[in-house]
Amino acid sequence: MKNKNVITILTVLLSLGVIIVFPVSAQEERKMEHPGHLESHSMDMKGIKADEYIVSYSFMTIPEHYKMMAEMKIDMSKVKTDPNASHHFFLELSDEKGGQKIYDAKVKIKVIDPSGKAVEKWIEVDKQMKHYGCDLELKEKGKYGVIILFKTKDEKTHLAKFWYEVK
CATH number at residue 159: 2.60.40.3340
Report how many domains make up the chain: 1
State percent of the chain over pLDDT 90. 54
pTM for the model: 0.73
Residues 6+ apart with CB under 8 A from 26: 48, 49
Q: What pLDDT, on a 0 to 100 scale, did the predictor assign at position 163?
A: 96
Nearest to 119 by CA among 140, 93, 91, 95: 140
Residue 45 structural domain = 2-166
* Tens-level pLDDT at each residue, the chain (167 residues): 554 554 445 454 445 444 444 444 344 444 444 443 433 445 678 999 999 999 999 999 989 988 888 888 887 777 778 889 999 999 999 999 989 999 999 999 999 999 999 999 999 898 777 889 999 999 999 999 999 999 999 999 999 999 999 99
Nearest to 107 by CA among 123, 130, 88: 123
Alpha carbon distances (Å) from 118 to 21, 33, 129, 165: 12, 31, 27, 15
Burial of 12: CB neighbours in 10 Å, binned 0-12, 13-18, 19+: exposed
DSSP string, 88-103: EEEEEEEETTT--EE-
Outline where 43-138 has alpha helix (H). 62-71
Q: What pLDDT, on a 0 to 100 scale, did the predictor assign at position 61?
A: 92
**DSSP 8-state code for residue 4:** H
Q: What pLDDT, on a 0 to 100 scale, did the predictor assign at position 2?
A: 54
